[in-house]
């Protein structure tokens, strides 16, 4: 199954999924691209690192993106080596054709395990036109079988066979000794694979061979909507979600800060709170600060110009992210 991030990879490993592919499908599934073609080596490297950090047992395979291999062999070996050496993947996958047979041999020679990907190759979308079933005539089926044998001979440890007739996948599986993982290739293979977002119901386009096993999208919609509503009706945050500290002398500071920040609206901390103004009890006049769209808020904060992150907000962003990861890994 594919995964592109640490929490998902941890979920797959917990479920005992044998192999995790950090697919270039990350392009459509996570990065907002229309196809896998724009995905870069840096992007795959980053997602591979995240998956590796969250797993101990599952085999992590980095999927080599379009144009990271196939033109220059030395460069391709370096890109593949980076996934193993710097990101900790245990193997790489490439979309395979006659041009990847020798590359497979070279990679295996230097100690990089290779999964070859036959049948539908989405990186060839501009050539084949769309993502339809492949190997549907006898010549194409024959070529696919030959490529399977050539990649086995070159040292590939497994084949991924995508979107071909089940009988073609069966013939290939019977003709070679390495495992075949099918995605849209029927039941007569060594193992099955799917793209995680299709499995979880998060994709906006689902291939005909996939089955949805959960409806995560509707859970996400629900969670976000509930958060928004609870903030709007002021039932979040509630006691227990925050603290108010009694700090000697802070009342005065808070009062003058409120005055100097908003002289025209003269917002003042209420004396009843006895501490720094909370967003709810600390305002006089209107019960809450006015709500407005995020973009309008940014514009106003920037004196009417378009939003530019300040040095402070940039460093705050940088410093929050690692702690989120740390919190996650502690929970595992």
**Rounded Cα gap, residues 123 and 102, in angstroms:** 19
CB 104, min distance to ligand KIV, A: 16
63: contact with ligand KIV by CB under 6 A:
yes
By CB under 6 A, what part of segment 102-121 binds ligand KIV? Answer: 117
Q: Please, which residue, 184 or 282, has the CB nearer to ligand KIV?
A: 184
Segment contacting ligand KIV (CB under 6 A): 20-28, 83-91, 202-210, 306-314?
A: 20-28
| Contacts to ligand KIV from residues 161-190, by CB under 6 A | 162, 183
CA-based radius of gyration for the chain: 27
Q: Contact between 43 and ligand KIV (CB under 6 A)?
A: no
Tell me the Ramachandran region of residue 206: left when phi exceeds 0, alpha when psi lies from -120 to 50, beta otherwise: beta
Which tokens hold the place of 244? 């108010």
One-character DSSP codes across 127-153: HHSSS-----SHHHHHHHHHHHHHHHH
Is the Cβ of residue 99 or residue 300 nearer to ligand KIV in the bound state? 99
**Could you tell me the sign of the dihedral formed by the alpha carbons of 28, 31, 32, 33, in that order?**
negative
Beta bridge partners of 94: 116
Shortest spacing between CB 22 and ligand KIV, in angstroms: 8
Can 162 be counted among the known catalytic residues? yes
Those residues whose C-beta lies under 8 Å from the C-beta of residue 289, and which sit 6 or more positions away, are 267, 279, 283
Is the CB of residue 100 less than 8 Å from the CB of residue 69? yes
What is the phi/psi pair of residue 59, to 5°?
A: -75, 125
Q: How far is the CB of 251 from ligand KIV (least distance, A)?
A: 58
Count of residues binding ligand KIV (CB under 6 A)?
11
Output the CA torsion 139→124→186→197 (10° steps). 180
- Please tell me the distance from the alpha carbon of residue 2 to that of residue 198, in angstroms, as a whole number: 10
CA distance 49 to 6: 9
Give the range of 21-29, 96-104, 200-208, 317-325 binding ligand KIV by CB under 6 A.
Answer: 21-29
> In 3D, which of 13, 94, 86 has the Cα closest to residue 48?
86
State yes or no: residue 2 binds ligand KIV (CB under 6 A): yes
CB of 66 to ligand KIV, least distance (A): 11
Question: Which residue of the chain is nearest ligand KIV when measured via CB?
Answer: 23
Q: Find the shortest distance in angstroms from Cβ 21 to ligand KIV.
A: 5
Q: How far is the CB of 123 from ligand KIV (least distance, A)?
A: 9
Binding of residue 24 to ligand KIV (CB under 6 A) = yes
Region of 23-31, 144-152, 236-244, 277-285 interacting with ligand KIV (CB under 6 A): 23-31
Interface with ligand KIV, residue 123, by CB under 6 A: no
The correct pick among 8, 25, 96, 197 for binding ligand KIV (CB under 6 A) is 25
Residues that bind ligand KIV (CB under 6 A): 2, 21, 23-25, 63, 117, 162, 183, 193, 195
Q: Hey, which residues are catalytic here?
A: 162
């Amino acid at each position: 199954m594919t995964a592109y991030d640490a929490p998902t990879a941890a979920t797959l490993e917990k479920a005992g999924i044998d192999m995790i592919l950090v697919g270039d499908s990350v392009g459509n599934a996570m990065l907002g691209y229309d196809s896998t073609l724009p995905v870069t080596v840096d992007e795959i490297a980053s997602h591979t690192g995240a998956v590796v950090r969250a797993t101990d047992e599952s085999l992590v395979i980095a999927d080599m993106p379009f144009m990271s291999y196939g033109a220059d062999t030395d460069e391709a070996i370096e890109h593949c080596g980076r996934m193993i050496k710097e990101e900790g993947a245990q193997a790489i996958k490439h979309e395979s054709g006659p041009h990847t047979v020798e590359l497979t041999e070279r990679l295996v020679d230097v100690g990089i395990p290779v999964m070859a990907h036959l049948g539908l190759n989405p990186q060839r979308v501009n050539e084949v036109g769309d993502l339809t079933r492949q190997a549907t005539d006898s010549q194409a089926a024959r070529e696919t079988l030959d490529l399977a044998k050539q990649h086995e001979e070159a040292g590939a440890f497994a084949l991924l066979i995508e979107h071909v007739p089940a009988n073609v996948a069966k013939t290939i599986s019977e003709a070679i000794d390495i495992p075949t993982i099918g995605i849209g290739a029927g039941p007569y293979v060594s193992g099955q694979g799917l793209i995680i977002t299709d499995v979880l119901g998060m994709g906006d386009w689902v291939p005909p061979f996939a089955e949805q096993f959960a409806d995560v999208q509707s859970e996400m919609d629900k969670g976000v909507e509930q958060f928004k509503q609870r903030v709007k009706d002021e039932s979040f945050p509630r006691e227990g979600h925050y603290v108010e500290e009694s700090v000697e002398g802070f009342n005065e500071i808070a009062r003058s800060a409120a005055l100097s920040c908003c002289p025209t609206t003269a917002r003042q901390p209420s004396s009843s709170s006895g501490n720094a103004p909370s967003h709810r009890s600390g305002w006089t006049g209107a019960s809450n600060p006015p709500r407005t769209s995020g973009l309008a808020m940014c514009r106003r904060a920037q004196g009417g110009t378009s939003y530019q992150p300040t040095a402070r907000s940039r460093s705050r962003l940088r410093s929050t992210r690692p702690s989120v990861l740390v919190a996650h890994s502690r929970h595992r």
